[in-house]
Amino acid sequence: MSTRKTIAIDMDGVLANNMAHYLAYHFIETGISITEEEIQGKPEAECFEDPKAVYRYLEKPDFFRTLPLNSSAQDVVKRLNDNFNIYIVSAAMEFPWSLVEKFEWLKEYFPFITWQQVVFCGDKSIIKADYMIDDHIYNLRSFSGKGLLFNAYHNINELGFERMNDWKAVEKYFFGN
């Protein structure tokens, strides 16, 4: 009998498309439309003229609850969950008000993920798994397993980790199809 491998999966920027949400909030606030191409390679604080804009959006009620889902995330995570030990891992303690919103979001979009599979923490270096899928390279650098960099606007120039361009690439990585 083989032992199932464990995969830790980040939420923001991996399961959820926070970039699209930032752009929508910015448009509502300013009336200025910014395209995804215009912010490629920029850290969050440099995406908008006002460097505090992203943190202002993060503090709005329901920001985390209304994040859009990344394409194919539900289907691929369901398939992964059927074949691996899956844990959703979010460094949510930076925004403690996000805990309930993130948990409610997970229940809506990933009802097959149980509460025992959700880890809200402050520092992901404590996470022990075979794989971690994350969009922030600093989380992968401190991870002891195999780090997989999920493609995001802010990390397009990062090297050193195998890049997953989208959820179909994750599926192909783990299942070969």
pLDDT tens profile 113-158: 999 999 999 999 999 999 999 999 999 999 999 999 999 999 999 9
Is the confidence at residue 63, as pLDDT, over 80? Answer: yes
Residue 6 — φ and ψ, nearest 5°? -110, 135
The pLDDT score that the predictor gives to residue 163 is: 97
**pLDDT-derived band at 44, boundaries 50, 70, 90:** confident
Is the confidence at residue 1, as pLDDT, over 60? Answer: no
111: left (phi over 0), alpha (psi -120 to 50) or beta: alpha
The pLDDT score that the predictor gives to residue 2 is: 61
Angle at 72 between CA 13 and CA 110, to 5 degrees: 75
DSSP string, 96-115: TTHHHHHHHHHHHH-TTS-G
**pLDDT-derived band at 18, boundaries 50, 70, 90:** very high
**Where along the chain do its domains lie?**
6-17+68-175, 18-58
Catalytic annotation, residues: 10, 12
**pLDDT-derived band at 8, boundaries 50, 70, 90:** very high
Is the confidence at residue 30, as pLDDT, over 90? Answer: yes
The pLDDT score that the predictor gives to residue 172 is: 98
6-17+68-175 CATH choice from 3.40.1080.10, 3.90.550.10, 3.40.50.1000, 3.30.420.40: 3.40.50.1000
- Contact assessment for residue 132 and residue 163, using Cβ atoms and an 8 Å cutoff: no
Distance CA 4, CA 140 (A): 21
* Rounded mean pLDDT, 6-21: 96
Mean pLDDT of the chain: 94
Give the number of other Cβ atoms within 10 Å of residue 125's Cβ: 13
pTM for this prediction: 0.94
pLDDT tens profile 72-106: 999 999 999 999 999 999 998 888 889 999 999 99
pLDDT tens profile 161-177: 999 999 999 999 999 97
